[in-house]
Amino acid sequence: MEFVEHATRNLFFTGKGGVGKTSLACATAVRLADAGQRVLLVSTDPASNLDEVLGVQLGYRPSPIPAVPGLSAMNLDPAASAAEYRERMVGPYRGLLPAAAVASMEEQFSGSCTLEIAAFDEFSRLLGDASATSEFDHVIFDTAPTGHTLRLLTLPSAWSGFMETNTTGTSCLGPLAGLQAQQKLYQSTVEALANAEVTTLILVTRPEAAALREAARTSGELAGLGVRNQHLVVNGVFQATDVADPLAVAMQARGEQALVELPEALRELPVTQIPLTSAGFVGIESLRNLGNLTDLPAPPPVAAEEAPAVSVGLGSLLEDLTAAGHGVILAMGKGGVGKTTVAAAIAVALAERGLRVHLSTTDPAAHLSGAMAGEELPTLTVSRIDPQVETARYSAEVLATAGAGLDDSGRALLQEDLRSPCTEEIAVFRAFAEAVDEGRDHFVVLDTAPTGHTILLLDAALAYHREVTRQSSQMPDAVAQLLPRLRDPEFTKVLLVTLPEATPVHEAAQLQQDLRRAQIEPWAWVINQSLTPLTVTDPVLQSRRQHERTYLDEVTGSLSSRTVLLPWHATPPTGLEGLRSLVAG
Amino acid sequence: MKHVQIYDKPMCCSTGVCGPQVDPVLPRFAADLDWLKSQGHQVERFNLAQQPDAFIANPDVHQLLATQGTDCLPLVVVDGAIVSRKGYPSREMLTMWAGPAGAATATLPVVKPSGGCCGGAACG
């Protein structure tokens, strides 16, 4: 593992959700700390799992990990950073300004825009300000799934560019105005990212076509930003021990095939392969073993145990989903758990009953067309909420309405404000509200972005809902109705998708809590890619199958009152035929 | 040349493009101020979230904020006198207050800090 042996100061782990970024980032951090280095491990994922993998409660300041001398870890907590940022901006004026004025300032600094800016500001500080991390030899970033990370990494360029070219001064810097002094910091962040002596980008993937495609895309986009020191890690490479187990043989073949078809963009990169293990990496000791895995003894065979009574396949959900005749079905959960596949399977099943269905996604990295394999149905439309397209559409709309009566310089002023990075947030949010609005007359199945992003979207919904109740004018109906609709169990059905593993289950449980705080009650849980309903004889797979049991019991026992199980498929369930098989079970 | 100061409510951007719906009044007023500047007047714009110091520095503004809360915003101040509250005046009103660049202005419809409305189209 070249990137560990000659580690640069900054190490970035990125990749599709569920590929093992957190485990690998932790294992690397433990390795470097064990070798005597002082290491800071940072998660930038709004839905961080660092705590669970390290087995400690982390805050948003570095805290030492007792079991690993030299290692400190922290979560970049956007809410906490935002609260701190808000206090920094507002605090000095308590007592100097009337209470009502202070309260209205606080309110202004509570939007999702502030949340994102605060997280970004903190991230820039860790990456661009050497004095902030001077007590560490290495800073390791465990990042949120790709879409969010790309955004985080492009912001230093976008915002420092915006501030440089913004000529009107009082124009739309929004909460960014307070950060204008930090422009230098953003500049050095961009430089640090591009310096191969300082930063290594580790693209983590599974030996699966979709994850490899995404790694290739990320590699290209980041190279475009100047991040060229890249390394590929293929995690979970499976070697069948029992060649009489057809599933094991198919699984190995599927991985090998994906690696043979390695996308062009990845072929030049140094590669590390990590074998699939019988259980996930949770806890320091198992992290210490990562990388030495070939020396581990094969797990002992496990006696077959009776599977818990959970319905297999999406079929049992369909009757109730169809009943209302229209509405919104949201697939939510951690990245990489198969939300896109589940959403597509439900959309196809409804459309094949002759119902009108619109399948869409808010995930910038989702591939609905891949799930459909290019196949079509007469009553099914497929689309994607594309941030660039939505931003252009929103800008055009604003110019045509609010900008209609303006003279040339007025329009130029408005156009300049519309180039603000906040515009994209608003545009995507409005597109989401419009998609939900469509559920009034037919079915809308939405595949959402990974948890962190979904939470931001919900925060925006809550913030705007407060604004709606305060001032009823000027609000598009789709936005005004969004939260009431998401809260209406007849209108919206939320499916929490997970894998039968620790982190995805616990992340979904956390999401369920967040949804409940927003008064949205999840409708059902879908446990995807389960070995439990299948017959396996390979020892690694048997042991994984056994390992699933804890999480199945946890979901059915305490988290969900309506659960379905989807079996693991030897070939990815894409196209109409593959998606149908998920319904049948 | 007149010195025109605007004291805004806490907001994200002066044109309002960051809200869920753009209020057309905001980009229009931003354009009007830009125009006023091009006429040679000195224009300053403060928003409570981002430049709270300005609200403290002006005793009249501070006083009004203390007695009426943020409802009195936005305030328009011309050469130190509050001429409008609670709304964005039209370009015509701005011209009346500021007059052509460099010229001495006629009588201004100034509102006293304790007075009623702004006396223009901006109320409501």
Nearest to A502 by CA among A235, A204, A237, A280: A280
DSSP state of A226: T
CA atoms within 13 A on the CB side of A441: 2
Tokens of A247: 């599933």
A113, A115, A172, A424, best to mutate vs chain B, most B CBs in 10 Å: A172
Percent of chain A with pLDDT over 70: 80
- With vertex at residue A148, the alpha carbon angle to CA A142 and CA A149, rounded to the nearest 5 degrees, is 45
> What is the C-alpha to C-alpha distance for residues A454 and A559, in angstroms, rounded to an integer?
20
- Average confidence (pLDDT) over A572-585: 87
DSSP state of B40: T
Q: Do A17 and A32 meet the contact criterion of CB atoms below 8 Å apart?
A: no
Q: How many CB atoms lie within 10 A of CB A466?
A: 13
- At B113 the pLDDT is 41
Nearest to A291 by CA among A218, A353, A237, A363: A237
Hey, is A521 helix, strand or coil?
coil
Hey, is B6 helix, strand or coil?
strand
Nearest beta carbon to residue A426 from set B14, B18, B69: B18
Q: Following DSSP, what letter does each residue of A109-148 receive, concatenated?
A: TTSHHHHHHHHHHHHHHHHH-GGGGTT-SEEEEEPPPHHH
Check whether A441 has a pLDDT greater than 60. yes
Catalytic annotation present for A20: yes
* Mean pLDDT estimate for chain A: 82
Three-state secondary structure along A52-83? HHHCCCCCCCCEECCCCCCEEEEECCHHHHHH
Contact A413 B23 (CB under 8 A): no
Catalytic annotation present for A147: no
Residue with tokens 């995805």: A504
Contact B55 A109 (CB under 8 A): no
Give A274's contacts (C-beta < 8 A, 6+ positions apart): A20, A24, A233, A234, A235, A236, A237, A290, A291, A293
Beta bridge partners of A64: A72
- At B106 the pLDDT is 45
List the 468-487 stretch of A: residues with Cβ below 8 A of B.
Answer: 474-476, 479
Distance from the Cα of residue B113 to its chain's centroid: 14
Beta bridge partners of A380: A357
Residue with tokens 């509250």: B85
Q: What confidence tier does A105 reach under pLDDT thresholds 50, 70, 90?
A: confident
DSSP state of B105: P
A416, A417, A432, best to mutate vs chain B, most B CBs in 10 Å: A417
Count of residues making up chain B: 124
Strand order in the sheet with A39-43: A63-64, A71-75, A39-43, A138-142, A10-14, A199-205, A230-237, A271-275
Model pLDDT for residues A466-517, shown as the tens digit of each residue:
665 655 456 678 888 888 899 999 999 999 999 998 888 988 998 898 888 8
Which has the higher per-residue pLDDT, B11 or A528? A528
Greatest mean pLDDT among A169-183, A245-259, A293-307, A445-459 lies in: A245-259
Give A85's contacts (C-beta < 8 A, 6+ positions apart): A109, A114, A117, A118, A121, A175, A178
Nearest to A233 by CA among A7, A445, A2: A2
A104 close to B (CB below 8 A): yes
Nearest beta carbon to residue B17 from set A418, A476, A479: A418
Q: How many CB atoms lie within 10 A of CB A477?
A: 10
Hey, is B14 helix, strand or coil?
coil
- The predicted complex's ipTM stands at 0.75
What are the distances in angstroms from CA A511 to CA A56, A551, A559? 20, 16, 11
CA atoms within 13 A on the CB side of A405: 12
Strand order in the sheet with B81-84: B42-47, B3-8, B75-78, B81-84
pTM score, two decimals? 0.75
Which has the higher per-residue pLDDT, B49 or B64? B64
Range with lowest mean pLDDT among A150-164, A253-267, A393-407: A150-164
- At B62 the pLDDT is 93
Model pLDDT for residues A281-340, shown as the tens digit of each residue:
556 676 676 655 444 444 455 555 565 678 899 999 999 999 989 999 999 988 778 899
Check whether A355 has a pLDDT greater than 60. yes
Catalytic annotation present for A334: no
Whether the upstream peptide bond of residue A207 has omega within 30° of 0, thus cis, is no
As to burial, measured by CB atoms within 10 angstroms (0-12 exposed, 13-18 middle, 19+ buried), residue A161 is middle
Q: Do A291 and A31 meet the contact criterion of CB atoms below 8 Å apart?
A: yes
- Given the residues A503, A532, A560, A574, the one annotated as active site: A503
Interface of B to A at Cβ within 8 Å reads 9-24, 26-28, 30-32, 34-35, 38, 45, 48-50, 52, 55-56, 62, 65-66, 69-70
Model pLDDT for residues A22-79, shown as the tens digit of each residue:
888 998 999 999 999 999 999 887 667 788 888 888 888 899 999 899 999 998 876 7
Pairing of strands A524-530, A492-498: parallel
- Average confidence (pLDDT) over A249-256: 91
Contact B49 A479 (CB under 8 A): no
- At A439 the pLDDT is 96
Q: Do A351 and A437 meet the contact criterion of CB atoms below 8 Å apart?
A: no
CA atoms within 13 A on the CB side of A326: 9
Which has the higher per-residue pLDDT, A193 or A444? A444
- Please give the single-letter amino acid code of residue A88: R
